[in-house]
Structure 1
Amino acid sequence: MGRNTMMKKLKVSAPAFSLLPVDVIVNIAFSIPIAADLFAFLEALRPYNLLGPLEHLYQLGKQLDLIQDLGQATWLKKHLGPQTKIEWIVNHFPTSTKEIADDVWDLHITRVSHGFKYNSLSSGKKILSRLKHLTTLKVYDEHAFSMPAEALDDYHQAWDDIFQFVEESHQLTELQASPDSHAMSSSNLVNLITWFRRQPVRWLKQSFYEAIFNCLTLDKLILRTCDFKGLDFSRFRFSMRSLQVGYCRGGSDYIYSLASRLENSNLTHLNIYVRHDVSIDSVKSLVRVLTTTIRVYLPGLCTPIKQLALKGLPFDSTDLSKLAPLFENCPLESLSLHAIRSSFSFVKSLATAIQNKTIHDLEVLFPVITVEEMRLLIQSVCHPSRRLK
C-alpha cells in the first residue's frame, strides 16, 4: 500500500509539459507578449531543468529591471543609487509635462528610445528638454506605415522638433535617428551641423555619409577624424570635385574602398592623410587606379585625378621605394608627398618616376633631405624633354 502511494506521488510530481521538446518550449516562451508573464513562465519551468537555451534569458532577466511606469519614480529614487543610469523606452509621449510626476525629472535618465507610429506623432520635445541627464537619444519610425494625408504635417513636424531639440541640447552626445519616411530638410541639416560643432562626432550611420558623398551640388568635401569602419563605399558616387580626408580611421579597408570608387567619380583633387594603420599595399592600389582611370573628359564620364596629396606616409624606405615607381604612369599635374621617413633610394626612384611625365608641380616634405637628393628632384622636374607648363 505504501509502495503504491509512493508511486502515485512520483507520478504527480512530474509535470506533463516535461514531455515537450525543448524547441516547443522555446516557441511557447517567445509567444508570450508580456515580459512579466514570460519570466513567470521561465520561473515555473526552471526547477525541472527544462529551460535549455532559455536559461540565458532567465539569468538576463534577473539582472535587468524593466519598469513599466515612470509613475513609480518615488520607488525608483528610494531603491536605486543616485547615479544609476535609466533608459526610458517611450511608447507615446504625453502631450504636456504636467502629465508626468515631478519626481521623474530628478531620475538619472540617460537614454531615451522612441518609435513614431501612425497614431503617436508627438516628438516630446518639451519633455526631452526637461531630462537634464539625457545623453543618448534613439528615434525611429516604428515600422513602415501608411499615413492619412492630414497626418503628414504632424509627422514631419515631429521629426523637425527632434532635430531642433538636438541642436539646442548641450548634454546630448549620441543620436541615432532613422527617419524612414521623412526627407531631411535643409533646416534639419543645419540643426545637425550646429550640434556637430558643439559635440565631437564619433559615429554616423551609413545613410548620412551617403547624403554627403552623393550630393550633386557639393564641390569640395573636407572630412577630419571620422571613422569609416563598416561603411559601404559602393553606395557613394563621389559627386564632388575635391576630397580631403584627414586623420580618419578605417585602416586599409577604407583606402581600398576609396580606390575602387575613383574610376567612376568626378574627383580631380584628392588629399589623404595616411594613418599608421594603413598598409602600403592599399596605397599602391589607390595609385594604380590613377593609371587606369579614363583620361579624356567626356560628358557623363569621370575626369582624371589631376592633383594628388598623400600626407603622413608612415612607411619605411623599402615600402616607399616600391610606391615611387607607380607615379611614372600617373598623368597627374600636381603631386604632394609628406613622409615621416625617407631614404636616398626612395628619392632616386621618385625622381626617375616623374621624369618626362606630366607632373609640373611637385611638393615633398621629408624629415631630412640632402643636397644630392634635392639635385635629383630638381633635375627631374626640369628635364629638357619634359613639356613646359
Structure 2
Amino acid sequence: MGREIIHSDLWPSLRITSYYSLEALAECVGFYSQVRVEDFDDMPWLREHVKATTEQHWTLHAFTPFSSWNDMSSFRITRLTIEVAWGGNKDPVVAILPSLHHLRALKMTFDNPTEHTSSVLAFAAKSDQLVELELHYDGDEEYVWISDAMIRNVLEWFQRRPVHTFHIESWDIQAEDTNLKQALFEALFNCPTIEKLVCNNTLMGGVNFANCTFSMRSLEISLLDSTTLKMMANQLIGSNVMDLTVNSRYDKDIAGIQLLFEILPRTAIETLNLSYSHYDTPHWQTLAPLLAQSQLKTLILQENDLENAEIDIIARAIQSNNSLVAIDVSLNYIDFKGMQKLIECATDPTRNAQMKLIAVGGNGISEEDLDLLTELAARRGVEKLKTTNGHDKAEEEYSHFS
C-alpha cells in the first residue's frame, strides 16, 4: 500500500486514510463489509470505491475540512467519533447529525459542553438507530449543566431505543422538577438492554437506589462519596454487573468501599477497578483480607499511591484468594522487593488459580530489575508480566479474563 502495512488496519475492517495509497486501497476495499474512515476527505473516491451497503465507521479531527462534513449524509455511516481539538468548532457536525440515518454509535468530545450536549441529546431522543452514545468532556468548566429538557431527551431515547452504551462525564443535574433526577438514574440503572454505563464525575446526591437493579454488565462510576457507594453496593448483590470501576479519590471514609468488598462474594463481579482511589496502610489492613473470599478474577489498582507497605498487605491477601488471575499495580511507588513479594504470593502453590497477568509498569523500577522480575514471573508460571505503563487499552486487555 505504499507504506509498511499495519495488520490492524487490514483486519477485521479496512482503515481508509491518506497514510496509504488510494490505488492500493481501491484494489481491496470491495472485499470489506465494514471500513474505518479516518480524517479522509476525498468524498468522490469514497462514492466510487466503497459499496453503498458497506458499513462506515468515521473518525473526525480538527483538521477535517468542514466542507467535507456536509457530504457525510450520503454515506452509510454507522459509527462516528468526533475528536475536535480544544476550542474547535463542533457546530457543523452537530447540525448534520439528524441526516445520518444509519448512525448507531456516536462518540463526541466537548470543551464547551452544555449547548452541544443539549443538541446531541435532542438528536438521540428522535434517532431511529442510535444505541451507543459517549459524551466526553475536555474543558475548563467544572461541570456540564443538565436541564429538565435534556433529562427528558435522555428518558425518551431510553424509552424508544434498546440502548447498549451510555457514557457521560461531569454532569451537574439542575432539574427544576425534583423527580426528574431520580427518573433519570432509574432509567440508566434499570435499562434491560444496556451493556455498559459510565457516569464519571457526575453528581448523584439525593438519588435513591432502592429500585435500581443495575442490569448492565459493565459499570463505571467515579468520584463517589462513601454514603452513595454504600447505598449502591447493596443493590449490586444479585445484579448483572461483572466489570465494576469505582473511584473515590477524595473521600477518606472507607465505609462505602468496605461494604463493597464485603458483598463481593454475593455479586457477579469478576473485574474490579479501583484506580485513582487512594487508601493508606490502615485502610488496606481492613480491606485486603476481604479479598480472600471474593470471586474476582481481575483487580486493577493503577495510580493508587501504593508503596511496599500496602502491596505487602495486598499480596498476602491475594495468596489466600483462589480466583484472581490478573493484577495491575502499574503507576505506583512499589520497588523491586515489593514486586517480588507480589509475584511470589500471587503464584504461591497453595492457590487454586494460575496467575495469567501481572502489570508492574510505571513504578520507577530499573530495566535490570524488570528483567529479573520477568524471569521470576516466568519461572513461577505467570503467563505475562507487563512492564509498560498501564494506560494502554487496559479494558480490552483484561476483558478476556472475565
Taking structure 2 as the reference length, what is the TM-score of the superposition? Answer: 0.45
Q: Which has the larger radius of gyration?
A: 1
Structure with higher helix content:
1
More strand by share: 2
TM (norm. structure 1) is 0.47
